[in-house]
Amino acid sequence: MTGTKLGRVKGQRSALLKGLLTALILHERIETTEAKAKALKPKIEKMMTTAKLGTLAAKQKLMGELYNNQVVVKKMMLVIAPRYKTRVGGYVRVVKKGFRAGDAAPTAIIEFV
């Protein structure tokens, strides 16, 4: 198995990551724990590569991965993907921020470059 379990079973983990993907695409920058940001990075990188294709098949694949959320898929394909037309990978970065006040969990900001 690759990746981290994030203290959740498979269904909860995939729902969490889909929610984080949606938030990242809509806001283009989110603050979360370092582990969640590191788990999210390869998923968003693969989705960006798919979105750059701009085909109907790519759109359908993204719709399947993002709860059929047309607003998010449209933003990804029409706004974000054209920005990285010439870039080959490295679409997002994870910046360590510090520790959360309540439980001292290491936090990070994940954002589009």
Q: Which domains, ranges and CATH numbers included, belong to the chain?
A: 29-112 (3.90.1030.10)
Please report, in tens digits, the pLDDT of each residue of the chain (113 residues total): 567 899 999 999 999 999 999 999 999 999 999 999 999 999 999 999 999 999 999 999 999 999 999 999 999 999 999 999 999 999 999 999 999 999 999 999 999 99
What span, in angstroms and rounded, lies between the C-alpha atoms of 48 and 51?
A: 5
The whole-model pTM stands at 0.93
Identify the CA nearest to 108 among candidates 25, 20, 45: 20
